[in-house]
Amino acid sequence: MTPTASAQTRSRAWTGFAVILAFLGALAGSGSISAAPAFPVQHSANHRYLVDQNGAPFPILGRTAWFITSLSVTDYRMFIDDTVAKGFNAIEFHVVNHDPRGNNEPLGGNGAPPFTKKLNGSDWAGSLSYGNINNDAPDFSLPNETYWTHVDALLAYAESKGVLCFMFPAYTGWQGGDQGWMQEMVANGTTRMRAYGAFIANRYKTRGNIVWMLGGDYSTTGFTAPQLAVEQNMLAGMQSVGGQSSTQFSAEWSGNSIYTDQADPTLRAAGTLQGAYSWEDPTSYVRNGYNHSPVMPTFLLEEPYDEEGPDGLDIDPYSTQPVRRYQWWGWLSGIGGYIAGNGYIWPFNDGWKLHLNTQGAQDMARLNAFIKSIAWYNLVPSELGGMRTLITAGGNRSFESNYVAAAATPDGKLLIAYVPPNHSGPITIDMTAMSGLTRARWYNPASAVYTLIGTFANTGTSSFTPPGDNGTGFNDWILLLEMQ
């Protein structure tokens, strides 16, 4: 969550009919329209991505929904339905809300607070202003059944729609401040936080669509001793409950980090999913995650949000259009998936519904369909995991705004390269990465239209020049090479 300040010339466009076929093909995935995932998810055999209980590959295609528990049943169902309609299969949120920028914190969509009592034993109505936090903070060991019944229904509805929930039991908050619960966690102490961890794990032990999230914009190395103790004890409480369906853990630590950057060995050992978090250089951090040993599924956890730059809230200088570049970069750098956000939607304040269909949201819907239309799970990023250097010229070897991200399958049947808006000139591909005669096409990420380039042998190198403006004032394109 955002910190406070914080083409070769034989081209021809497909006809409208072909575009329809492409859309249907995307819906069909790699051959047939897939059924809803059978939760819980687990690691693939090579630990590079997630699969469901039937072994079907599950790409993390996520949307941030930080304050979703503050919504009414009607509104959270509408949001989840819209999310699924755009091809997303995951949402990320904190189950109890604290951030003052969000909707009606800390109350649930039914008006109930998450806990019943203050630490001094008196009733707690949801105030987050304290005379003495050690007396007035909510007691995490005394949950409010009315609030949690609302959460129960939300999680059940999400699972019925095939949505995986990346859920923070207690989002700690940027620098441990008022965007999260760290101060209250310390006030509660280790015993209560262990009890809370056991409570939430036990309550949802049969729920299959959860990824448990630790941290919350804080911290890889900066926890104080009391802060570390309460985070560890909440985790210990969660781990104390046997027979849980959902056993995947990830975290959002400090910005510019991956899960395994966590300094504390206890917290680090809990991780099963390598989330990468960076607003400045997401590609490098996702690649770091992919390259880490032991291997875990790696995904872009957080990056610049839609409408948080000059086109919207103007609170993040990195959130410049088109923000789709970050998701394309991140996905091709880690393969496991991504989670994306919108600055107006995640708090669910008045007017959020007006931002559900932005260019960014539509771009993500196209990306989701594209991913599902190919054998994404076989891709290996360029120069990682034994993959050769796919782009031999014009692609940059380190991350900059004109960096070209590329990945290919080891069997040489598929290669994808994302050419970002700031790139100019051709890119050169090592065609020996392909295993036979290859069809080359451009894919427009802003319209989902394919343009045929031609057919190429799998010898030597070939140069490809992007077509130019893709119709949105930007010139980012995806090069798609497929063996004939």
Instruction: Judge if 403 and 338 occupy the same domain.
Output: no
The residue type found at 301 is L
Q: What is the pLDDT of residues 422-436, one digit of tens each?
A: 999 999 999 999 999
SS3 call for 366:
helix
Looking at residue 469, which CATH number applies to its domain? Answer: 2.60.40
The pLDDT of residue 274:
98
Predicted confidence (pLDDT) at residue 15 exceeds the cutoff of 90: no
Instruction: Judge if 346 and 443 occupy the same domain.
Output: no
Confidence of residue 11 (pLDDT cuts 50, 70, 90): very low
Is 336 contained in some domain?
A: yes
Predicted confidence (pLDDT) at residue 26 exceeds the cutoff of 90: no
Instruction: Judge if 302 and 437 occupy the same domain.
Output: no
The pLDDT of residue 34:
56
Query: How high is the mean pLDDT of the chain?
Result: 93
Q: Residues of the chain with pLDDT > 90: what percent?
A: 91
The pLDDT of residue 1:
72
Q: What is the pLDDT of residues 273-284, one digit of tens each?
A: 999 999 999 999
Is residue 250 within 8 Å of 275, Cβ to Cβ?
yes
Final residue before a domain boundary, out of 358, 376, 394: 376
Mean pLDDT of 122-134: 98
Is 1 contained in some domain?
A: no
Predicted confidence (pLDDT) at residue 25 exceeds the cutoff of 60: no
The pLDDT of residue 95:
98
Looking at residue 254, which CATH number applies to its domain? Answer: 3.20.20.80
Is residue 164 within 8 Å of 206, Cβ to Cβ?
no
**How many structural domains does the chain have?**
2
Confidence of residue 36 (pLDDT cuts 50, 70, 90): confident
Is 251 contained in some domain?
A: yes
Is 30 contained in some domain?
A: no
Predicted confidence (pLDDT) at residue 33 exceeds the cutoff of 60: no
Mean pLDDT of 138-166: 98
Is residue 335 within 8 Å of 380, Cβ to Cβ?
yes
> What tokens appear for 214 in the block?
């630790």
The pLDDT of residue 9:
29
- DSSP letter for each residue of 238-257: HHT--S-S--EEEEE-SSSE
Q: What is the pLDDT of residues 56-104, one digit of tens each?
A: 999 999 999 999 999 999 999 999 999 999 999 999 999 999 999 999 9
Instruction: List all residues 6 or more positions away from 46 whose beta carbon is below 8 Å from its beta carbon.
Output: 295
Q: Residues of the chain with pLDDT > 70: what percent?
A: 93
Mean pLDDT of 165-188: 98
Residue 392: enclosing H or E segment and its boundaries? strand 391-393
Confidence of residue 2 (pLDDT cuts 50, 70, 90): low
Mean pLDDT of 159-185: 98
Instruction: Judge if 347 and 386 occupy the same domain.
Output: no
Confidence of residue 35 (pLDDT cuts 50, 70, 90): confident
Is 405 contained in some domain?
A: yes
Is residue 337 within 8 Å of 57, Cβ to Cβ?
no
Q: What share of the chain is helix, strand, coil (3-state, %, to 5)?
A: 30, 20, 50
Give the C-alpha separation, 385 to 399, whole Å: 18
Predicted confidence (pLDDT) at residue 240 exceeds the cutoff of 60: yes
Give the ranges where 41-140 is alpha helix by DSSP (H).
73-85, 133-136
Predicted confidence (pLDDT) at residue 8 exceeds the cutoff of 90: no
Is 256 contained in some domain?
A: yes
Final residue before a domain boundary, out of 376, 397, 427: 376
Secondary structure letter of residue 33 according to DSSP? P
Is 175 contained in some domain?
A: yes
Is residue 254 within 8 Å of 176, Cβ to Cβ?
no
The pLDDT of residue 432:
98
Is 26 contained in some domain?
A: no
Shortest CA distance to 271 belongs to which of 285, 260, 255?
260
The pLDDT of residue 23:
40
Q: The domain containing residue 83 runs over which residues? A: 36-376
Instruction: List all residues 6 or more positions away from 449 whose beta carbon is below 8 Å from its beta carbon.
Output: 13, 14, 19, 22, 443
Other CB atoms within a 10 A radius of the CB of residue 266 amount to: 13
Give the C-alpha separation, 180 to 173, whole Å: 4
